[in-house]
Amino acid sequence: MKQIFGQIGRLRRECIEEYCRLHETDVHTARWAGVLETIHACHIQNYSIFIEDDVVFGYFEYTGEDYEADMARMAEDPATQDWWSHTRPCFTRYSADSKEPFYSDMRQIFRFE
């Protein structure tokens, strides 16, 4: 069964340019090929990230059977860990209520296909 995820996060202002560069150009280089392969292997498709000022919104569809196991597999991947060492420091807390300074999952309230 396909699950749809929306995530929101806030970037540190001094990191916006770097975060955009990483996603617009660097991720498509040989150095980061393993990241995209892992995303695919973990049953994520139609993954998009949008930005407006310092706010980023991510959308993806999960088509696997065990989301938690696939996310654990992704977190164990060395290429992904390396990628996160560059991207995660770009984030700050989205709001005072955020428990972690990375993407926060959003609740889907509407869908039209």
The pLDDT, as a whole number, for residue 68 is: 95
63 pLDDT more than 80: yes
The pLDDT, as a whole number, for residue 96 is: 62
Residues 51 and 8: beta-carbon distance below 8 Å: no
* Nearest of 39, 42, 4, 15 to residue 102 by alpha carbon: 15
pLDDT-derived band at 100, boundaries 50, 70, 90: low
Report, in angstroms and rounded to the nearest whole number, the Rg of the chain calculated over CA atoms.
14
pLDDT-derived band at 43, boundaries 50, 70, 90: very high
pLDDT-derived band at 1, boundaries 50, 70, 90: confident
Q: Calculate mean pLDDT across residues 13-29.
A: 95
Residues 43 and 61: beta-carbon distance below 8 Å: no
- pTM of the complete model: 0.87
